[in-house]
Amino acid sequence: MNNTAEVYLWGSRIGIVHFDEGTGLASFEYDHDFARSGIEVSPVMMPLADGFYSFSELVKSSFHGIPGLIADSLPDKFGNAVISQWLASRGLSDASFNAIDRLCYTGTRGMGALEYVPATGPVGSINDEINISEMVRFASDVLNKRSKVRIMMDKNITAKQLLQLGTSAGGARAKAVIAWNEKTGDIRSGQINAGPDYGYWIIKFDGVDANGDHDVTDRQEYTRIEYAYHLMAIASGIKMSECKLLAENDRVHFMTKRFDRTDQGGKIHMQTLGALSHIDYDIPCLCSYEQAAIYARQIGLRADEIEQLYRRMVFNVLAVNQDDHVKNISFLMDRNGKWMLAPAYDVTFAYDSSSRWLNAHQMTINGKNRDIGKGDILEAGRAMDISAQKCKNIIDDVAAAVDRWPDFAEKVSIKEETMEMIRGEIYS
């Protein structure tokens, strides 16, 4: 069990994190030289300074006692499910693997640019071509906790690939980080430098049993729905990374190009809104869109980026994306310490009347998370210091695109029944 890890950024050590088993609380200290670098990697809650950062309020939360700067690197639901099977294959329990162990398991393979030493996850880089069909089968076995997975974790090449590629992508759903050659269709590990003919993508698997979040299983066609929403968001003026659908047998997987990687595979520092502000994504309504704009301005975002944030808020309301929590907004930092709004992601239809997390918006708008009207949207824009006319123009842009939902659904061959169900919620 590890209680201490070194934290690296772009090849240089920036600090050390230590976990106290007795209190369940981690402390972080910047290295002396990095504390004087002027590169603010966590400017809101953990600005550069000497001394330790620790936050007792984060112990009983989705942060697991880890300061936000590095909590973003912790595996999420699917990653933890894979790790659980990996531990079981070694006769170990989840309780034997603390938060620092999980950071070290992530090692150099996490989202963003932070890396953790000592790296303790699967050894070696697997450059074999990836079999997507086998990946889907193993992901289903993992989520259903089938015992045969434990036996095969170290013996099967696909299981090894899932251990390396499926634990670092974040989120609740089964996915992997890949390198994809669009010309040849070849898919390899996204954790290696695959060469100039490959781009770096995240693939969300279609056809995985028990896939979903917060005990809500994904509906059929969820990958097609997310791609149709991507097209609708682009038509609304929302900035997103390139997305594609990948057909495989009778499945259609959703792919999105990584925005935390350069075209050459270089790493870009990333923080979610939740990590930046120490707001727990797992508790609805702790943050408002108006607060998000305040944090964005605090780290130096431009007025047009605040307007882009507002546009996403409008889309989430009109298109009924209620999975709009603080880990679904991110910011990127370049090597000079300049912050910018990351492209939108996880943009899809998200509503379930029986779910605590999906029966209303996760972030509030004008103090409300349901029954949000145009007046509320305009008032939120005023609070975000966006002119009334600009707000109205944005609302009109988004509404015009959302009105075309049936066209986007037809373009990606979504079933009529599914299209009508979503249209009923959008127009209700």
Per-residue pLDDT of the chain (428 residues; tens, 9 = 90+): 789 999 999 999 999 999 999 999 999 999 999 999 999 999 999 999 999 999 999 998 899 999 999 999 998 888 888 888 888 878 888 888 999 999 998 999 899 999 999 987 665 555 567 888 888 887 777 777 665 555 455 556 566 676 666 666 777 678 888 999 999 999 988 887 888 899 999 999 998 876 655 555 566 799 999 999 999 999 999 999 999 999 998 899 999 999 999 988 899 999 999 999 999 999 999 999 999 999 999 999 999 999 999 999 999 999 999 999 999 999 999 999 999 999 999 999 999 998 888 999 999 999 999 999 999 999 999 999 999 999 999 999 999 999 999 999 999 999 999 999 999 999 87
For the chain, how many residues are written?
A: 428
User: What is the amino acid identity at position 400?
Assistant: A
Residues 6+ apart with CB under 8 A from 146: none
Q: Provide the token pair at 22.
A: 């007795």
Between CA 204 and CA 177 the distance in angstroms is 9
Q: Which 3 state secondary structure label does DSSP give 5?
A: strand
Question: How many Cβ atoms sit within 10 Å of the Cβ of residue 366?
Answer: 18
Between CA 189 and CA 207 the distance in angstroms is 21
In order of 141, 269, 423, the CA distances from 293 in angstroms are: 41, 20, 30
Angle, CA 77 vertex, CA 362 and CA 46 arms, to 5° = 65
Between CA 367 and CA 380 the distance in angstroms is 9
In order of 215, 311, 317, 322, the CA distances from 370 in angstroms are: 21, 18, 9, 9
Could you tell me if residue 112 is left (phi over 0), alpha (psi between -120 and 50 degrees) or otherwise beta?
A: left
Residue corresponding to tokens 């409008």: 314
Between CA 109 and CA 83 the distance in angstroms is 14
In order of 102, 132, 138, 338, the CA distances from 253 in angstroms are: 28, 9, 15, 34
**How far does the chain reach from its first CA to its final CA, in angstroms?**
52
Between CA 265 and CA 183 the distance in angstroms is 18
Between CA 207 and CA 424 the distance in angstroms is 25
Q: Burial level of 192, CB count in 10 A (0-12/13-18/19+)?
A: middle
Q: Say if CB 347 and CB 225 are below 8 A apart.
A: no
Comparing CA positions, the residue from 201, 341, 212 lying closest to residue 272 is: 341
Q: What is the pLDDT of residue 156?
A: 60
Backbone angles phi, psi at 201, to 5 degrees: -135, 160
Q: Which 3 state secondary structure label does DSSP give 122?
A: coil
Between CA 355 and CA 368 the distance in angstroms is 17
